[in-house]
Amino acid sequence: MKRFKMLIDGKAIESASEKAAVIKNPANQEPVAEVSLGDREDAALALGAAERAFPGWARTDPKKRGDLLCRGADLVRERAEEIARLLTMEQGKPLRYARREVLSSAEALDYYAEEGMRNFGEIVPSSSERTRSLVVRQPLGVAAVISPWNYPVDLLAWKVAPALAAGCTVVAKPSSKAPLAATEFIRAIHEAGIPPGVLNLVHGSGRDVGSELVESPISRKVSFTGNTETGKEIMEKASRHVKRLSLELGGHSPAIVCEDADIDEAAESCVQRAFSNMGQICISVNRIYVHEAVAEEFAERLVKMTGKLRIGDGLDPDVDLGPMFSEAQRKKTKDQIADALAKGAAVLCGGSEPEGEKYSRGFFFMPTVLDDMDHSMRMMREETFGPVAPMMRFSANDEALRLANDSRYGLAAYVFTENMTTALWFAERLEAGSVGINTTSPIIPSAPFGGWKESGLGRERCRAALYEYMEEKHIRIGLREGI
């Protein structure tokens, strides 16, 4: 069985403890590979390497940094099939979606290779002929980036790329539950010619490795994607050194289907976003509010489209949905469904595990549509992270807005209407970092992404992410009088 090592100071090494973990396929529980399991000592070693490498990398010509990122992107594309197969086997998503994720990670490297060369400063108007004021941006230092299991390559890439482009050195910690594809992604970037110590990777738990990355005074920036509770713990620990933070946390995205919506388009979009990656995505459609005048028609279309989805092993080219990532995720989904049914909800389709021998060893669950939901149900208050589309009916737009905003989360929201006035009315009032109008795909490279309220702080993607890894400095210059 292949063993995946860590990358510290330019070398692939075992952990100091020599401990290892076996990564298993969620579709059948068969072993995929072993991974070297690090602890605080390994994290400290990586931070030290990044600290030593920082001055040289920060002074490197941005064009050279960009060239190395582009070369890394080329290597990722060359190895895309290998990385994608690892991703499917460790995480479960269908192979075609794994390929898409890997290619998106290469796009991140190319994007910030260009953006890093546009780190322009400013000349501030002066009130005196004998003074000038310059504002420049400089790299923060060592960045600790911590990524989750649901998109282990893509979400890591959109942290690593801006950090390196900005001139920061990096210690990356992928999810200990899905580290294989992320490790190969980091290895490809390193083999493009990144100097030793600039890009490091440590496997291990959040309790050990993650805590060291956050608590050490060496790291000056922490970027984390994961659940809100862990994000709050990171904020508390990082506050001891007043570190810069980017936190992309939980979501509970509402979709509002207005009376005048294109019902086919709305249903198709909600199916795609509610069930993609088995609902294990931070911007998944978690709540659907449907105008009572079109609720029956919408429910019929939603159920019909859901019934066409094919579920199975992600390596099967004919499937649309793979297994859930873990038994814990499946149980959470089942518990929330049971709570909803006990409080009056109705199952329109799904609601159980699929039958058959081929599903018996994996964490499979049928995509589920629920109706007659209300806010007393856990599913309408808590992030499910499972393949469920719960519906609730409304009679007026202001009611739908109130329900949509009645959440501690604010990552994304969606509105379906043919009336642009209505669309903008909702978009300007919804409490979310991203709003999709007649689409549930609100994330693009060139626009900022992040949450309101308890969905996090800071922004990823676009130029905003580059600046998250930089400090602003004002330089005031006194000039001599005359020439």
* Separation in Å, CA 3 to CA 12, 103, 151, 153, 256: 11, 24, 21, 19, 47
For residue 116, give both structure tokens: 């890093």
How does pLDDT run along the chain (483 residues), one tens digit per residue?
A: 899 999 999 999 999 999 999 999 999 999 999 999 999 999 999 999 999 999 999 999 999 999 999 999 999 999 999 999 999 999 999 999 999 999 999 999 999 999 999 999 999 998 888 999 999 999 999 999 999 999 999 999 999 999 999 999 999 999 999 999 999 999 999 999 999 999 999 999 999 999 999 999 999 999 999 999 999 999 999 999 999 999 999 999 999 999 999 999 999 999 999 999 999 999 999 999 999 999 999 999 999 999 999 999 999 999 999 999 999 999 999 999 999 999 999 999 999 999 999 999 999 999 999 999 999 999 999 999 999 999 999 999 999 999 999 999 999 999 999 999 999 999 999 999 999 999 999 999 999 999 999 999 999 999 999 999 999 999 999 998 866
- Altogether, the residues listed in the chain come to a count of 483
Q: Which residues are known catalytic residues?
A: 248, 282
Q: Are 106 and 457 in contact (CB under 8 A)?
A: no
pTM, to two decimals: 0.96
Tell me how far CA of residue 448 lies from CA of 90, 282, 294, 461, 468, in angstroms: 29, 15, 33, 5, 11
What does each C-alpha distance from 467 to 121, 142, 159, 401 come to in angstroms? 12, 14, 12, 33
Query: Measured between alpha carbons, how far is 483 from 480 in angstroms, rounded to an integer?
Result: 8
Q: Which helix (H) or strand (E) holds 414?
A: strand 412-416
**Nearest alpha carbon to residue 173 among 190, 188, 155:** 155
